[in-house]
Amino acid sequence: MNLNDAQKQQVSAWIQQGLKLADIQNRLAKDLGIHMTYMEVRFLIDDLKLTLKDPVAPKPAAPALQPPAPAAPANTPEPDDFSGEDALPEEPEAGSPPPGEPAPGAGKVSVEVDKLARPGAIVSGKVTFSDGKSAGWYLDQFGRLGLMPKEEGHRPSQADVLEFQRTLQNELARMGF
């Protein structure tokens, strides 16, 4: 559908106001009596060589000055950052040992690789943590590692997750990944 110059100027003004495509679509129908699909509105914006404004995110308040965090000991290995959002626990579990000390039973993590990967994964398998609980794992095409615990709500200790990542990396390297 072709718009006249006044209508084009009105659309341009709406974009300057920061309206989104859906809002422009509604205003076209309500104010101008022009009914367009969302995609047609998108094409109209492109044809008019207009650019939608990104919403301005509120700026966070400046944090108070805090002393710098103590540096990690030089002998603590840094894990590779190939884990998914939920792979590492956000907080240490209650009763977990202080940082730097291995968890009880740490080092007893076993990893198995599936012969046929799960749908949507490059490689997948099963992991059994030191507490005896197991989970499915997968590595997707974007390199994100995900865990699917068999027991709902189970969160392995940070030491187990780190051992799992090291063991998995070694196993996948051995297999040629």
Vertex 23 angle, CA 18 and 29, to 5°: 135
pLDDT in tens, 42-85: 888 888 888 877 665 566 665 555 555 555 555 544 444 444 44
pLDDT in tens, 123-158: 999 999 999 999 999 998 888 988 888 888 888 889
Its pTM surpasses 0.75: no
Write the secondary structure of 115-160 as one string of H (helix), E (strand) and C (coil): CCCCCCEEEEEEEECCCCCEEEEEEECCCCEEEEECCCCCCCCHHH
Question: Tell me, what's the pLDDT at 15?
Answer: 85
pLDDT in tens, 104-117: 444 589 999 999 98
